[in-house]
Chain A
Amino acid sequence: MSIPADLGLPGLRSGTEGVPTLPEGAQPQTGKDFTSDQEVRWCPGCGDYAVLKAVQSFLPDLGLRRENIVFVSGIGCSSRFPYYLDTYGMHSIHGRAPSIATGIATAREDLSVWVVTGDGDALSIGGNHLIHALRRNVNMTILLFNNRIYGLTKGQYSPTSETGKITKSTPMGSLDHPFNPVSLALGAEASFVARTIDSDRKHLTSVLAAAAAHRGTSLVEIYQNCPIFNDGAFDAIKSPDTKADAIIPLVHGQPVTFGAEGAKALVRDEQTGGVKVVATADVAAADILVHDAHNEDPTVAFGISRLTDSGYLNTSPIGIFRQVERPTYDDQAREQVAAATPDASGNDDTADRAARLAALIGGGDTWTII
């Protein structure tokens, strides 16, 4: 068997191509169709409610058959998510959702696969699976709920908590330097990396749409408030008084400016090779960074991601950092199998398979005793 020379560029296809859609003229779905009969059990005021509502109202927009959607989660508050959606779903074990989703997505082209995870689940215990899913570019969308704290285990610091965090397990302050999930994902050469906010339904929904449309692993970091153990972690970017200065909005093809009346702007920093914030008035308009999410080179996207505060969050770029086309692992794995299968449709009949099995096990050097 030879591997076909033309593997195509599956990345050019939509993330949901191959997934059956509703028949022509079918009753349009609503958020209710995606709501399961299970009582939602998050704490009052939890940011997870907003994300759940947003996802339930967004899913009908995809026009996919409900039975062809699978949500997989790990362990943590956010990982209860699949129970509340009336799709197929698995609430698995801590940190392993990306690996389980990799099996599902590779086995079946006709499924739209989603992973729901948190900062502890994805970046601590499951860090290995996350980076490898991203580098393989398996067709799935990972929603990483980042509340910068461990909620389900009642309030220990997480791998995204700011250094010095006082928690039950760190009464004198945490010592770990936090991960920046977007920087991490870009370092793993993720093909789609975005950041959005639980309370901004409109932005969240548009990011979900772009992520679902992307073929490959889409990582969406969602800033999510935990009112019990880390309340106010994102106040700076949520408060009407401060958000203009706190949010660096990323829109593909647009110069990046923010602050009151666009007083601040991003430019390339020639000294470091990175990206820095300047007063818009101090630079020529042509020098202001125009956001290019489709840039094959992740350097600038990484530079932008470094403008996220690692301590208390006073500033953070929000939007789609990177979206590039790259062949997906699962498409190529299926293509290899299809190329090796005698009937390219993969539908060789049972009798033929039995004959080929007999030939396989009876192959090699054999001898017959009568």
Chain B
Amino acid sequence: MTQPAKQVKQLDRVIIRFAGDSGDGMQLTGDRFTQETAAFGNDLVTLPNFPAEIRAPQGTLPGVSSFQVHFADHDILTAGDAPDVLVAMNPAALRANLGDLHKGATIIVDTHDFTARNLTKAGYTENPLDNDTLAEYALHTVDLTGMTVEAVKEFGLSRKDASRAKNMFALGLLSWMYGRPTEPTTSFLAKRFAKVPDIRDANVTAFKAGWNFGETTEAFAVQYEIKPAVMPPGTYRNITGNLALAYGLVAGGVQSGLPVFLGTYPITPASDILHELSKHKSFGVTTFQAEDEIAGVGAAIGASYAGHLGVTSTSGPGVALKSEAIGLAVMTELPLVVIDVQRGGPSTGLPTKTEQADLLQAMFGRNGEAPVPIVAPQSPGDCFAAAVEATRIAVTYRTPVLLLSDGYLANGSEPWRVPTVDELPVIDPAFATEKNHGSGEEAEFWPYLRDDETLARPWAIPGTPGLEHRIGGLEKGDGHGNISYDPANHDFMVRTRQAKVDRIADSIPLVEVDDPSGEAKVLVLGWGSTYGPIGAGVRRVRKAGYHVAQAHLRHLNPFPSNLGEVLKGYDKVLVPEMNLGQLSLLLRAKYLVDAVGYNHVRGLPLKATELAHAIGELVGQAEGIDIDLGVWGEPTQKEHI
């Protein structure tokens, strides 16, 4: 090295947020940094955050798009509460994100875009780089755009095209600062822009220039090192929730031997599942982009009737539209996987933001007594296993199943240990092939004769001779399945459909409680994507020296059969949710437990530090002690947590 070696400082974890205009390529930048970090071997969690508008007005606050990545040399659970480093590509990005930073955080700004016009658009009357607004931060002012344009001038691009590579310059700089491997990004760029060599070369050059700038400039005196994390053995990849979910559906098809049929309508944040599955026709996957949400689920039900694995993917507003059809699948007792990637509601709500306020819609959002099993993944990678489990329940019990993902899981990513195919359950569709009632000449096929164990009805698909039958939305007579208006039969069938869903509890694992000391009086119970923040909050409380137990639900209907017992074992139960208390309501109704809610609907994941305080408060009440979390109550606490 020709340059004097810079000081290298060890860190155990870092949170970086890339922020810029929605056209600045911040999602790509964050994604590339994440891939480099995954390849390096750190544990990581990401939080993309972008506006619903594809190109909101340039330079404005609503147009700011950001990508946060938290990476560490140990197991971490959340994308972090407060960034340590903010990369702000314009004044709006600075202003929109400054409030989330802790004092002393590093800020890198692209000075090029701090023009009078952009400052005004962001609502600054004075340039914050010129006064003491940022006095409490470690500010680095860098002309990212100017240096990018200079670095790529040999390619003869227009100034506009040249300046567009500034995100790669920023990526190069950050990659140097944190000692990330550069190869994944250079080979990615080579592939991505293979057809436009000028753009490819400009991006690679900008990336390398950013790296070299970090290495040579005196402005950045320190390089940081975050050692790889120790993780259980296995093959890992970084994966987003929507990708894992799509893979889970492909796996569900392979493991059941059923061709997957996705009937769907594009909707944020679920569309990527359609995009991904449409690439996997080689597994017999058919994707049908329907004229509307109802046709999407209708076609999926038709495909299930015909012996395929019918799947429909949507978000909350789409589930509302599909409700009647899901009721039809309840009545006809056909397998159907309904994926709801939840977003902020009601109505159109916050399409690109996360929430988990569709639990009660999933549970009760249909006319009549229409029980539907519900499963929920707890992390991006876990979407894979949740999709396989939804398939297992749908096929085994002949029922629609609701899978509740959310916007945070869908777009967020984490390292995922890739399972081997042997680890996956084998799912037996067990199609009916024989008449099942009476014998000899009198033998008939009864479509509503049930399996003793599961209460599932036979699935006889068209093309099976002798089993011709009619099903539909009208009430069925027990056994023979013909239309029945008989009062006693209806009462029996309503109870039987409920009993069938309740019986699923026999096939699911008991809820496991993490209570290391065995002395906790408070249980924190969650579901879905709050797993990470709850886990991090619980760790903080334990680090501060207090006892608290944690459990997380994969199955929300039916609940695991030991849940009632588990709840009784604790003095207080805290239920953190990104809604106004929907799981709390179900727990209170079913178990008469005085569940305490911790509820936020900000369109963002819960914050671990805030949660730690809420847990601490409840622990204090339960144990009759004063709680002081000390440094563990500070978002900036940098020790292992």
Contact = CB atoms under 8 A, between A and B. Distances in A.
Interface stretch (B111-119, B144-152, B278-286, B369-377): B278-286
Contacts of B261: 103, 106-107
A356 B472 CA distance: 38
Contacts of B250: 357, 360
Contacts of A342: 282
B610 to A, nearest CB: 33
B470 A83 contact: yes
Interface in A47-86: 65-70, 72-73, 75, 82-83, 85-86
A171 interface: no
Contacts of A170: none
A67 B306 contact: no
Interface stretch (B399-407, B414-422, B517-525, B566-574): B414-422
A96 B295 contact: yes
B386 interface: no
A70 B462 contact: yes
Contact of A104 (B291, B462, B464, B465): B462
Contact of A353 (B235, B283, B332): B283
A120 to B, nearest CB: 16
How many residues of A sit at the interface, in one of the four size bands? Answer: 35 or more
A370 B228 CA distance: 13
Contact of A350 (B235, B257, B298, B299): B257
Contacts of B304: 103
Interface string B576-613: 00000000000000000000000000000000000000
Given A67-B462, A82-B470, A93-B473, A354 B302 contact: no
B52 interface: no
B465 A100 contact: no
A302 B101 CA distance: 66
A365 B38 contact: yes
Given A67-B467, A83-B470, A107-B261, A38 B298 contact: no
Interface in B291-327: 291-292, 294-296, 298-308, 310, 324-325, 327
Contact of B280 (A72, A101, A103, A360): A360
Given A103-B261, A340-B281, A369-B234, A333 B295 contact: no
Contacts of A357: 250-251, 254, 283, 421
A4 to B, nearest CB: 13
Given A99-B302, A103-B298, A358 B468 contact: no
A88 B462 contact: yes
A99 B303 CA distance: 10
A101 B111 CA distance: 59
Interface in A310-335: 333-334
A93 B326 CA distance: 10
B254 A353 contact: yes
A363 B250 CA distance: 14
A132 B291 contact: yes
A96 B421 contact: no
Contacts of B300: 103
A36 B295 CA distance: 29
A256 to B, nearest CB: 35
Contacts of A86: 468
Contacts of B295: 96, 98-99, 102, 128-129, 132
A60 to B, nearest CB: 15
Contact of B286 (A36, A68, A337): A337
Contact of B303 (A93, A106, A367): A106
A354 B285 CA distance: 15
B238 interface: yes
B346 interface: no
A107 to B, nearest CB: 4
Interface string A279-316: 00000000000000000000000000000000000000
A183 B467 CA distance: 40
Given A101-B302, A106-B288, A88 B469 contact: yes
A200 interface: no
A362 interface: yes
Contacts of A66: 465, 468
A96 B291 contact: no
Nearest to B302: A103
Contacts of B254: 353-354, 357
| A-B interface, 8 closest residue pairs, ranked by CB to CB distance from nearest | A103-B302, A91-B472, A99-B298, A103-B299, A340-B281, A99-B295, A100-B302, A132-B291
Given A67-B466, A89-B469, 18 more contacts: A36-B470, A67-B463, A88-B470, A91-B474, A93-B324, A93-B328, A99-B298, A102-B288, A104-B305, A107-B286, A129-B291, A334-B286, A356-B283, A357-B251, A358-B421, A367-B235, A367-B237, A370-B233
Interface of A: 1, 20, 36, 38, 65-70, 72-73, 75, 82-83, 85-94, 96, 98-108, 110-111, 128-129, 132, 333-334, 336-337, 339-342, 346, 350, 353-358, 360-370
13 contacts: A1-B282, A67-B463, A67-B465, A67-B468, A82-B470, A89-B470, A91-B471, A104-B305, A353-B283, A355-B421, A365-B238, A369-B234, A370-B233
